[in-house]
Amino acid sequence: MIDKDTKLYGSFSIKAGSVGCRIFNTSFKYDNINAIYKSFSVNNIEEAINSAKCLSFSGFAVSMPFKSQIIKFLDETDEVVKKVGTCNTVLIKDNKLIGFNTDYLAIESFLSNVDDLKFIYILGNGCYSKNVQYYCNQNNINFKVINRKIWNEILSIKNSIIFNCTPVDDIKYDKSNFFIDCINTSNTGNKLAKLQASIQYKIYTGLEFPLSID
């Protein structure tokens, strides 16, 4: 039951979704944690942060286009936020905003299980793409970024790994490729979303994620 001691968590994005609400509220219920999670559509991240602090939120997630904008409002960050320049998870502790990049940690977990990974075609050059690029640079993996100017090159790629880091769905590609899609309605995107949420959950609660990743 929600009461005066219920902890508040949420997410801020231009267009709110319900995936995080389902994942976190189910997990809170499973672990018998007195907390709720609600997604919010916002246009101004500074106003959203001030509201979260005023209402004593315990933490929140951040989606595009705020992943870079939010950094200037943080009191502390992890090393990946400093190096990549994007943040998608904020813990509020002692009225301080502590930023994490759990997108990167999910990508790291996913790609570390891909066999014989030597080269990746990365679609897009936004915040999510920068996480994949950073992983490649850290692990001596060659890559090529496919942006709008050379988008048609996708159809000529064969027997390779393609990582879609854009919100574009229904991308046409040769089926000889291993296609990794960050969109959470896809199989790989759903797994990446759960991996990311599992890391957020531990940051927020200190507990292991109770749901299956697969």
Give the three-class secondary structure for 214: coil
Whole-number Å distance between alpha carbons of 24 and 198: 9
Separation of alpha carbons 54 and 44, rounded Å = 16
Strand, helix or coil for residue 139: coil
- What is the separation of C-alpha 54 from the centre of its chain, rounded to a whole number of angstroms? 25
Please name which of 167, 155, 160 lies closest in space to residue 128, comparing C-alpha atoms.
167
Q: Is there a catalytic annotation at residue 67?
A: yes
Composition of the chain by helix, strand, coil, percent to 5: 40, 20, 40
Rg (CA), the chain: 18
Which is the catalytic residue, given 4, 15, 67, 149?
Answer: 67
Per the listing, tokens 């929140």 go with: 60
Residue 72 in contact with residue 40, Cβ under 8 Å? no
* Alpha-carbon span 210 to 174, nearest angstrom: 37
Token pair of 168, please? 């574009």
**Catalytic residue IDs:** 67
